[in-house]
A and B are shown apart, each in its own frame.
Chain A
Amino acid sequence: MGASSLFEKIWSSHVINELGDGFALLHVDRHILHDLNAMKSLVELRERGYAVRNPELTIATPDHGVSSLPGRDINTNAAGTALLRGYLEETKRAGIRAFDVNEDGQGIVHVIGPELGLTQPGHLIVCGDSHTCTHGGLAALGFGMGRSEVIHVLATQTIYQKKPKQMRINFEGVAGHGVTPKDLILYLIGQIGADGGNGHAVEYAGSAIRAMPVEGRLTICNLSIEFGAKVGMIGPDDVAYQYLAGRQMSPKGADWDRALAYWKSLTTDDGASFDHEVSIDVAKVAPQITWGTSPQQVISVEDAIPDPSSGANAADTTAMREALDYMGLTPGRPIAGTAIDAVFIGSCTNSRLSDLREAAAVARGRKVKEGVQAWVVPGSQQVKQAAEAEGLHGVFRQAGFEWREPGCSMCLAANGDLLARGQRAVSTTNRNFEGRQGPGVRTHLASPAMAAAAAVSGAIVDVRKMMV
């Protein structure tokens, strides 16, 4: 056999049945359910006369539909109460380990997987959520799926997939001060477009990736789907092994030794071929901010709002004009200085301890601008506890941020956490789609540091000017 990539090695080791034309039936090592799909999927499964094949390989957490209000329970967001009650009842009935709303271990699916050690190199992980690509930050093959596929996995512990093409993205060099993994991946999306990775599994490589801690890698992989790549992954290395050692669900004893030897065999071989290869010089990347309604509509914070006439073609020009209209922005003006109403720090993209530290470093000793609603929503109970242990909640509160309970919250506004029509937010989330944070709400995506800087400035601002 010739040189293989990380992706090919994991894919081929999970094939149960080859079906021709690149299709295969693949084994699922871990299936994560969340509150938005658990009840409906499990009920439909039962009604169709099937049972959960491997409940022990399945885990569940409430995140999408839970309110982040301090003191919350399943009744806080009335629209989600039936969903959450059903989530608890149906997972119990099926024998699936499911976290309760305020239980230790609860959090956003893509935050708890890595932190529990459930996410491991070589695992094939699926979840009814498109940001399942996040788990690739620990060299797992993770991807999202729809409701029908969720039910298929529950019934069979397998999934049909067509083998994607492969792309390698090399982030080379050292990023400047104030430039974070979020900026690198937003910059990439601006370069290759929201469909630049369609039909591909992406491997991120290069010196900047190797030097990056696991949490930053998770952020990078998380946004893979925002340029169309269902899978984004990073080769396993000592950084990943050290992260996993001793975690609750990480292999122990002899299992750890065997697992480690196996994980080391997964790295992409020299000479492995990719259908596409892209290189980014990270030294050239400035803090990024989106201006439109697609993640590809992104610029450096020092740039001017683009003119639609600069569109690549007529369709692009129209899309740009519509986006500017929705966002209420004037072409040609600097994006910095745009006044904002709200800041949201959280989501499966940027709600881990390092993200909160990065935001707190900017917030420390400053005050949220009057009239700005600023929220910090830690990604999990573990993140919340760790942040509180080092006093970050105090830093945020003192600055005038609300310190809230773990969940997806305002990233998708499915839980009562949302903004009002016309309001403008800087968010550390993954989607600036129309209405994503509430009907008519205008979302600018940025890093946690940029979001904190906007909160205290009351406007979009270059965070580097606030750092010493």
Chain B
Amino acid sequence: MEPFVRLTGVAAPILTGNVNTDVLVRVEAMINVPKGKLGPYCFEVWRYLPDRSDNPDFILNQPAYRNAKILLAGVNFGCGSSREPAVWALWDMGFRCVIAPSFGDIFFNNCFQSGMLPIVLPADVIVSLAEDAKAFGDVAPDFTVDLERQVIIAPSGRQTPFKVDELKRHALLEGLDDIGVTLAIAQRITDFQTADRNARPWVYNV
């Protein structure tokens, strides 16, 4: 996994609540398009008109936000299905960080698995970040997200602190491989199963 330490880039606001994972990536793309190529399928239901041309009203189609790396989002972002390609689609579109008042629980976990930083902040704080993210013509200002210091630095220099669970922060900073970490304590899994087999034999008698 690619480590996440510090990121500088444009922040795009999509403050609609309950953005679901079907909106982030449709199931057909999930099946047929490999990881790494999902960018054009992210927000598919919103970013294209029925004839597949770009919907000019969709914010990520506007020149100022086309290269955004940070997404400012609404409540319950990533609700719905467990599809990890929802995170990959955002990643392939260039996003590395999503800031929302709350997340779908499975999507939230999936972000950490893929090197995407999800940050939880109160809705009013995100609204004020969105104010700072306003574009001038075709140019939107840069924000910096610093995971080491756990702070967001707005274009004005204003700093907004945030908090990520230490275990997840460490894994992101180091780009850790979960499986490697777990297999280092494989003996504990074996010990657990041995004891559990005595306590609940029916679980293992298959």
Is B16 a contact partner of A315 (Cβ separation < 8 A)? yes
Instruction: Name the residue on A nearest B203 (C-beta).
Output: A29
Is A194 a contact partner of B76 (Cβ separation < 8 A)? yes
Q: From the candidates A65, A156, A316, A412, name the one contacting B186 in the complex (CB within 8 A).
A: A156
Is A198 a contact partner of B188 (Cβ separation < 8 A)? no
Q: From the candidates B84, B179, B204, name the one contacting A156 in the complex (CB within 8 A).
A: B179
Stretch among B24-32, B141-149, B151-159 lining the A interface: B24-32
Minimum CB–CB distance from B23 to chain A (whole Å) comes to 6
Instruction: Name the residue on B nearest A36 (C-beta).
Output: B31
Is A148 a contact partner of B167 (Cβ separation < 8 A)? no
Instruction: Note all chain A residues with C-beta closer than 8 A to B203.
Output: 29, 123
One digit per residue, 1 when the CB lies within 8 angstroms of any chain A CB and 0 when it does not, for chain B 101-126 equals 01111110110011000000000000
Is A152 a contact partner of B16 (Cβ separation < 8 A)? no
Among B152-206, those with CB < 8 Å from A are: 165-167, 178-179, 182-183, 185-186, 188-189, 192-193, 196, 200-206
Q: Does B137 contact A (CB under 8 A)?
A: no
Minimum CB–CB distance from A345 to chain B (whole Å) comes to 20
Q: Does B45 contact A (CB under 8 A)?
A: yes
Instruction: Note all chain B residues with C-beta closer than 8 A to A146.
Output: 82-84, 87, 106-107, 109-110, 113
Stretch among A273-281, A379-387, A434-442 lining the B interface: A434-442
Given contacts A158-B182, A230-B105, A412 and B27 within 8 Å (CB-CB): yes
Given contacts A414-B31, A433-B80, A198 and B109 within 8 Å (CB-CB): no
Interface size on A, residues (CB 8 A): 74
Stretch among A172-180, A254-262, A299-307, A448-456 lining the B interface: A254-262
Is A198 a contact partner of B82 (Cβ separation < 8 A)? no
Q: Does B79 contact A (CB under 8 A)?
A: yes
Q: Does A122 contact B (CB under 8 A)?
A: yes
Is A434 a contact partner of B84 (Cβ separation < 8 A)? no
Given contacts A129-B82, A255-B205, A440-B50, A433 and B17 within 8 Å (CB-CB): no
Given contacts A156-B182, A431-B22, A148 and B189 within 8 Å (CB-CB): no
One digit per residue, 1 when the CB lies within 8 angstroms of any chain B CB and 0 when it does not, for chain A 161-194 equals 0101000000000000000000000000000001
Is B106 a contact partner of A17 (Cβ separation < 8 A)? no
Q: Does A88 contact B (CB under 8 A)?
A: no
Q: From the candidates B109, B183, B185, B202, name the one contacting A251 in the complex (CB within 8 A).
A: B202
Q: Does B20 contact A (CB under 8 A)?
A: yes
Among A1-38, those with CB < 8 Å from B are: 16-17, 19-21, 23, 25, 27, 29, 36
Determine the interface band of chain B, counting residues with CB < 8 A from chain A. Answer: 35 or more
Minimum CB–CB distance from B37 to chain A (whole Å) comes to 14
Q: Does A205 contact B (CB under 8 A)?
A: no
Minimum CB–CB distance from A290 to chain B (whole Å) comes to 13
Is A23 a contact partner of B76 (Cβ separation < 8 A)? no
Q: Does A349 contact B (CB under 8 A)?
A: no
CA distance A342 to B188 in the complex (A): 53
Q: Does B15 contact A (CB under 8 A)?
A: yes
Is A319 a contact partner of B202 (Cβ separation < 8 A)? no
Is A27 a contact partner of B113 (Cβ separation < 8 A)? no
Q: Does B12 contact A (CB under 8 A)?
A: no
Among A292-341, those with CB < 8 Å from B are: 294, 296, 315-316, 318-319, 322
Given contacts A48-B179, A251-B202, A255-B202, A144 and B106 within 8 Å (CB-CB): yes
Among B73-93, those with CB < 8 Å from A are: 74-76, 79-85, 87
Q: From the candidates A23, A149, A164, A258, name the one contacting B202 in the complex (CB within 8 A).
A: A258
Q: Does A147 contact B (CB under 8 A)?
A: yes
Given contacts A21-B165, A56-B206, A122-B200, A130 and B16 within 8 Å (CB-CB): no
Q: Does A283 contact B (CB under 8 A)?
A: no
Most buried by A among B27, B30, B45, B102: B27
Given contacts A129-B82, A130-B81, A315 and B17 within 8 Å (CB-CB): yes
Minimum CB–CB distance from B19 to chain A (whole Å) comes to 10
CA distance A246 to B55 in the complex (A): 57
Is A162 a contact partner of B182 (Cβ separation < 8 A)? no
CA distance A130 to B80 in the complex (A): 7
CA distance A80 to B107 in the complex (A): 25
Is B76 a contact partner of A158 (Cβ separation < 8 A)? no
Is A79 a contact partner of B105 (Cβ separation < 8 A)? no
Q: Does B18 contact A (CB under 8 A)?
A: yes
Is A50 a contact partner of B179 (Cβ separation < 8 A)? yes
CA distance A262 to B45 in the complex (A): 48
CA distance A297 to B106 in the complex (A): 22
Instruction: Note all chain B residues with C-beta closer than 8 A to A230.
Output: 105-106
Is B167 a contact partner of A144 (Cβ separation < 8 A)? no
Instruction: Note all chain A residues with C-beta closer than 8 A to B202.
Output: 120, 251, 255-256, 258-259
CA distance A318 to B32 in the complex (A): 33
Given contacts A158-B182, A414-B31, A19 and B189 within 8 Å (CB-CB): no
Minimum CB–CB distance from B43 to chain A (whole Å) comes to 11
Q: Does A361 contact B (CB under 8 A)?
A: no
Instruction: Note all chain B residues with C-beta closer than 8 A to A435.
Output: 22-23, 26, 44-45
Minimum CB–CB distance from B89 to chain A (whole Å) comes to 13
Given contacts A129-B81, A146-B110, A315-B15, A79 and B28 within 8 Å (CB-CB): yes
Q: Does A151 contact B (CB under 8 A)?
A: yes
Given contacts A80-B31, A148-B84, A433-B20, A258 and B201 within 8 Å (CB-CB): yes
Minimum CB–CB distance from A292 to chain B (whole Å) comes to 10
Q: From the candidates B50, B74, B82, B205, name the one contacting A130 in the complex (CB within 8 A).
A: B82
Instruction: Note all chain B residues with C-beta closer than 8 A to A57.
Output: 204, 206
> Told that A130-B106, A413-B28 touch, could you supply 13 new A-B pairs with CB distance under 8 A?
A53-B189, A57-B204, A130-B82, A143-B106, A144-B81, A145-B109, A146-B83, A146-B110, A156-B186, A160-B182, A199-B105, A255-B202, A315-B16
- 20 residue pairs from A and B, CB less than 8 Å apart: A20-B167, A23-B165, A25-B182, A50-B179, A120-B202, A148-B178, A152-B182, A156-B179, A156-B186, A156-B189, A160-B178, A228-B104, A251-B202, A262-B200, A296-B18, A412-B81, A414-B28, A433-B22, A435-B44, A435-B45
**Which 10 residue pairs spanning A and B have beta carbons closest together?**
A146-B84, A148-B113, A146-B110, A251-B202, A195-B76, A144-B82, A255-B202, A147-B84, A414-B27, A130-B82
